[in-house]
Amino acid sequence: MDSLRFLTPDDLDQIRIDFSTPTFVYDEATLRANARAVKEFPNAFGLFARYAMKAAPTSAIVRILNSEGLGIDASSGFELERAVRAGVGTELISLSTQEFPDEFRYWIQDGVKTNLCSLNQIKKFGEWGKGESIGLRFNPGLGSGGTNRTNVGGPSSSFGIWKDDLEEAKSLCKEYGLTVEKIHTHIGSGSDPEVWKKVASMSLDLVRNFKDVHTLNLGGGYKVARMSDEQATDLREIGEPVKQLFESFAAETGRKLTLEIEPGTFLLANACSLVTTVQDITSTGSEGYRFLKLNAGMTEILRPSLYGAQHPIVLVPEEGTNKFREEMEQVVVGHCCESGDLLTPAPGDAEKLATRNLPRGEVGDLCIIEGVGAYCSSMAAKNYNSFPEAAEVLRKEDGSLSFIRQRQTFDQLIENEMAP
């Protein structure tokens, strides 16, 4: 049976009384430890790690990771501005985006770096920024994702300049006088060591086409073990072969490349717990299931409904953690009027429900969903059924708890609505 990652019974009592539920709780000590682990990624001639802030863009999280020496990978102009408002220097921010912002020129002039991700983006940038230095993101033709929805490489992915468009990309850069100083690839959230090594080799072949490139960014996607039977990525296992490739490239060409990486899940996933309350229970009898209905769901965590993703679930009886209850198979569901609002889908199959062996749940119990730091608060079905956004709390290194984002009020939810 699953257990709490970092929260204590006293923490849960305080959350119930002072913050209420549902509430995301991030652990500062885990965040800092993960950031330091990332900075030990094997490299031959220098490493710069950027936090993929789409994983969880709350300013307190950004500031903690930035204070540990990490830069920022922004996926939109809005994320970029959010990072700046959190206090990150523009020289530490890189923009790689599916929708290139119209105001990009102001950010570039202020020191932000960009990886252009399509031929049209090269044209748009080049019409303004003749003679500027840029990065180019390529789709190397290969991907690695836990599911097709987390695979961002290969012919089924729209991310990056397709490998066969290399010559056209070079021609456009020459036409606009753009100096390519960085090549960027990212294949998805799979982290298969052999695939990573192969993509690194393919990416170095791309570098050969641009004499001024001094940095190769290989993205992120390092798998973490949320569940006890899952295997986490060993950063040294995937990093050492890539380090050797960089060394061989330098011996052959005389070019010593800096390695950039962009972790998000690795930094955040197991650094956050979602504390919820069982607010109702239903049963479909001997032919069906016993359902625990939470006061949260796809409005806070969409991954199970989207990918069939698995998260540890811990049930804490209202009376305290020591009261014995029989364990039984139960299905955990969310509060939305949506049949797909399911916290316990079958692994990898969001269409099929599965049970979890948990203490017999009762109304008022706390239900803690673990492993929710990455792509949960930032990627949920916010405000569906008009539920306000959940609060976010930081568990500081000294063990104290404080808000880093207050719960959305109903007035805030509707404040932009207008009568015609």
CATH 3.90.850.10 fits 28-268, yes or no: no
The per-residue pLDDT for 129 is 87
Q: Compute how many other C-beta atoms are within 10 angstroms of the C-beta atom of residue 400.
A: 11
pTM of the model: 0.94
Q: Are 403 and 24 in contact (CB under 8 A)?
A: no
Per-residue model confidence (pLDDT) at position 150: 42
- Name the token pair of 192: 């298969």
State the pLDDT at residue 148. Answer: 45
Pairing state between β 313-316 and 290-294: unpaired
Exposure b/e, 299-310, CB count within 10 A at least 16 = b? bbbbbbbbbbbb
Per domain, the residue ranges of the chain are 9-25+269-408, 28-268
- Asked whether the beta carbons of 163 and 138 are under 8 A apart, the reply is yes
What pLDDT is recorded for position 322?
A: 59
**pLDDT of 242:** 93
Looking at domain 9-25+269-408, its CATH superfamily turns out to be Lyase, Ornithine Decarboxylase; Chain A, domain 1 (2.40.37.10)
CA 250 from chain center: how many Å? 32
Task: Please list the ranges in the chain whose pLDDT falls under 50.
Answer: 145, 147-151
CB 214 within 8 A of CB 253: no
Q: In sequence order, what E strands does 103-257 have?
A: 113-116, 133-139, 161-162, 179-184, 215-217
pLDDT of residue 151: 44
pLDDT of residue 155: 64
Beta carbons within 8 Å of 419's beta carbon, 6+ residues apart: none
Q: Is the dihedral of CA 304, 308, 314, 317 positive or negative?
A: positive
